[in-house]
Amino acid sequence: MDLQLDQLRALDAVITEGTFEAAARRLSVTPSAISQRIKALEDSAGRILVQRTKPVQPTESGLTVWRLAKQVQLLTSDTARELGDEDQPTAKPVNIPIAVNADSLQSWVMPALGRAAQGVNFEIHREDEEHTTRLLRDGTVMAAITSTAAPVQGCIVRRLGAMRYRPMANPDFVGTWFPDGPTAKAFAVAPVILFDRKDDLQFRLMRRYTRKPVDSPRHYIPSSAGFADALRLGLGWGMMPDLQTRQDDNLIPLDSTVFIDVPLYWQQWRLDSPALGMVAATIAETAAAVLL
């Protein structure tokens, strides 16, 4: 395969932006030029890389080449910065897409990214920690905070620590729905708050008491801040990390002795990239200070 840098950039732009026209605007060329570069790249690869739908969808082969395109662009950006004039840093910032679970993003990741932001543009993908590895596999992100210890192919992994979650609720809600504490009967009828339909943490706790699935009333609130507000307002009970509730007088645990620890890992592409390495080091340093 004879892969040209402008062809790889075109593939990344088309898949990321969703159309040939949007990719052309991003790269300041014509849609015809984008189409020619994609066609030349497909000829070189000997297979179709993108489906010409709206939005454009990568084929399985396209995902493989897209991942290569992002790796090449990262290394190219790193090299440009290293060759630049340190007194006049005009090199284009390195773009690093990262998948992060909402609770980590809300409670501790943002300060880490703030310290690592010089010369880096972040593209954050909010995803449940049990599902972030999918974004690593398909090349959407270069790194992810995940609960999966097994490394994705082509990635390295390091343990960050664990977030401790407890079942929390408004005191009046606890008095109304859990007067005898957490019981199977109470969990079967008490409203529960879920982040989204991938959120299994509340059900994991309930199974300790009910020993079988229960169809309790539920709210879906896909926002960490909104989730906490719903608990404070008494809409239901839910699992909250200690990092977000230590100084919250409006929430109390259903049982202070009950908790679930969710392990977190940092997975990233196996690349010798100074920018990606700097972000990983900052994430690890911050995690060591706040996680279990």
Last residue of a domain, one of 40, 62, 84: 62
Which residues are bridge partners to 159 per DSSP? 265
Where a domain ends, among 62, 86, 102? 62
Question: Residue 207 sits in which domain range?
Answer: 163-262
214/185 Cα distance (integer angstroms): 10
| Amino acid of residue 214 | V
Contacts of 132 (CB under 8 A, 6+ apart): 99, 100, 101, 125, 141, 144, 145, 146, 148, 267
Question: How far apart, in whole angstroms, are the C-alpha atoms of residue 157 and residue 177?
Answer: 42
> Which CATH number goes with the domain that contains 235?
3.40.190.10
Q: Is residue 25 part of a domain?
A: yes
CA dihedral 197, 132, 103, 292 (to 10 degrees): 120
Residue 268 predicted with pLDDT over 70:
yes
Which CATH number fits the domain that encloses residue 28? 1.10.10.10
Look at residue 234 and tell me if it is in a domain: yes
In a domain, 279, yes or no: no
Q: What is the pLDDT of residue 220?
A: 97
Query: Is residue 284 in some structural domain?
Result: no
Lowest mean pLDDT among 72-86, 111-125, 183-197: 72-86
Residues 6+ apart with CB under 8 A from 78: 94, 273, 274, 275
**Does any domain span residue 76?**
no
Q: Which amino acid is at 285?
A: E
pLDDT at 213: 84
Residue 118 has which token pair?
């010089």
* Res 79: pLDDT: 85
pTM over 0.75: yes
Mean pLDDT score of the chain, rounded to an integer? 92
Instruction: Give domain status of residue 243, yes or no.
Output: yes
Residue 154 lies in a domain: no
Q: Which two tokens stand for residue 81?
A: 């910065």
pLDDT given for residue 88 in this prediction: 47
- Chain segment 17-50, per-residue pLDDT in tens: 999 999 999 999 999 999 999 999 999 999 999 9
CB 126 within 8 A of CB 100: yes
Compare 177 and 54 and report the one with higher pLDDT.
Answer: 177
User: Is 175 inside a domain boundary?
Assistant: yes
Number of domains within the chain: 2
The average pLDDT across 101-118 equals: 91
Contact 149, 162 (CB under 8 A): no
Q: pLDDT tens across 90-100, in order?
A: 567 888 999 99
